[in-house]
Amino acid sequence: MKKRNKVIALLLVLIGIVVGLTISANLDVQKLTFADQNRVPEKATEFLGRLSTSLSEVAEVVKPSVVNISTTRTVTLKNNPFSKLFNDPFAKRFFGNDFRSFGPERKFKSSALGSGVIVSEDGYILTNNHVIKDADEIKVVLYDKREFKGKVIGTDPKTDLAVIKINAEKLPAIKIGDSDSLRVGDLVLAIGNPFGLNQTITMGIVSAVGRSNVGIADYEDFIQTDAAINPGNSGGALVNIRGELVGVNTAIFSTSGGYMGIGFAIPSDMAKAVMQSIVKYGKVIRGWLGVTIQGLTPELAKSFDIKEDKGALVTDVVKDSPAEKAGFKRGDLIVEFDGKMVKDETSLRNMAANTHPGKTVQVKVVRNGKKRILTVTLGEYPETETTAVKEGYNNVLRGVYVQELTPDLRASLNIPEKVRGVLVSNVEAESPASGVLKRNDVIQEINRQVIRKIKDYKQVVSRIGPDDNVLLLIYRSGGYIYVTIRP
């Protein structure tokens, strides 16, 4: 009986082993089958391989055209050893602000990093204005580690572009492409020197085109991309898959100061026009139409009986301007300029500015529900003087940049006609006015003296002493306010 039980037990063990081996074999087959099924198709890997190789080749061609730009400038601060004491609220009750400027001035060197793009074999380099602004020295480092001293040829704060030059020949100039041909979704590469890391390349797509009202420059038509752009990338290249320059990397949208997936580049078409004007004339010459315009809203379209949903609405025509001579009238809706569709007031401003003075173009308008063609010869945009109160005026308004308030600026900033004064275009961080004055403030009075033009501003500011307090009446965000600035 016991022998029989042992035989049965042995048979059960053998059966278990056989079943186990069978299941294991089936599992192995299933694993192999699943592994085969999860393989990337060969055609896809071939395509991705070709794409990767192509991008590598583009990078190798373009990298030598992008340079590292480092700048230094002198910053002056007042050193007050008793600043903590006199900033105390209790001390202020007795001493006021009279001792805030006590102490010797202290000067130190401030350095910054950026990028640039070689656009000619003989040394012209395109970059951002904010990269080289107020620089005492500009050092340019090439891809092959050669170093050169950069010379400023011209700047254009209105687009945040600048042209510098180095004394070198046979440089690897980049090919400038057509930014107008870009489409949302196109692959692009961003090349620059973020955080001083030379020749860094990131990849992304065109997220949007024609971005305006970003608050970076007066003339905005930005390419938005998700290619990583960080501090130090400014002035670098945004290129398409053919290795052509389609944009100049300029800014990012960020709450942390670093990359958050939203970067902005100036279109190459705009950059090329500005660059050519600077190189040829030493300044930017823009076309001028002579109309005050605003965007078209559904409410306005209904009021004017306009069926179109795009265009720029004429609110005023400047006397003796090219527009007046061509027959433009208030209430005209400009829908096409020189064969190109006008999306809004910003696109029209950019189109007119990029058209050389003296060129005759056809403009399609909608008037009283009917379309008509007007022929206009553009004039030269009236120069607006810009000044900076800096070392020349040793007072609280040093580091404040102002400019004339033009009709175009009024329209774009919605500043009423009755508001007179000079427009604040920038305030340096080291200026005593920093945190008090803001960009796009209109200065109407200084120490109760009326300001209408740049010359008024200069005359009044030149009489302000280094230790004088200043009272200003400004127009800001639809209202009037008084502000004081102390040394």
Taking the C-alpha atoms of residue 168 and residue 183, their distance in angstroms, rounded to an integer, is: 36
Rg (Cα) of the chain, in Å, rounded?
A: 31
* CA atoms within a 13 Å half-sphere pointing along the CA-CB vector of 483: 20
Q: What residues act catalytically?
A: 130, 160, 234
Taking the C-alpha atoms of residue 173 and residue 121, their distance in angstroms, rounded to an integer, is: 5
Residue 332: C-alpha distances to residues 43, 365, 373 (Å): 56, 6, 11
Secondary structure class of 86 (helix, strand, coil): helix
DSSP per-residue string spanning 111-133: EEEEEEEE-STTSEEEE-HHHHT
CB–CB of 213/177 below 8 Å? no
Secondary structure class of 341 (helix, strand, coil): strand
Residue 264's φ and ψ, nearest 5 degrees, are -130, 140
Torsion of CA 230, 231, 232, 234, to 10 degrees: 80
SS3 content of the chain, % helix, strand, coil (to 5): 25, 35, 40
Taking the C-alpha atoms of residue 371 and residue 359, their distance in angstroms, rounded to an integer, is: 23
Short-list 203, 210, 220, CA closest to 184: 210
Q: Which residues have CB under 8 Å from 48's CB, separation 6+?
A: none
Taking the C-alpha atoms of residue 461 and residue 396, their distance in angstroms, rounded to an integer, is: 9
Sort 307 into a burial class: Cβ within 10 Å, 0-12 / 13-18 / 19+: exposed
Secondary structure class of 53 (helix, strand, coil): helix
Token pair of 412 as six digits: 């774009």
Backbone conformation region of residue 469, classed left if phi is above 0, alpha if psi is from -120 to 50, else beta: beta
What residue has token string 């945009």?
A: 381
Taking the C-alpha atoms of residue 331 and residue 318, their distance in angstroms, rounded to an integer, is: 14
Length of the chain: 487
* Residue 413: Cβ within 10 Å count: 13
* Residue 108: Cβ within 10 Å count: 8
* Residue 98: Cβ within 10 Å count: 13
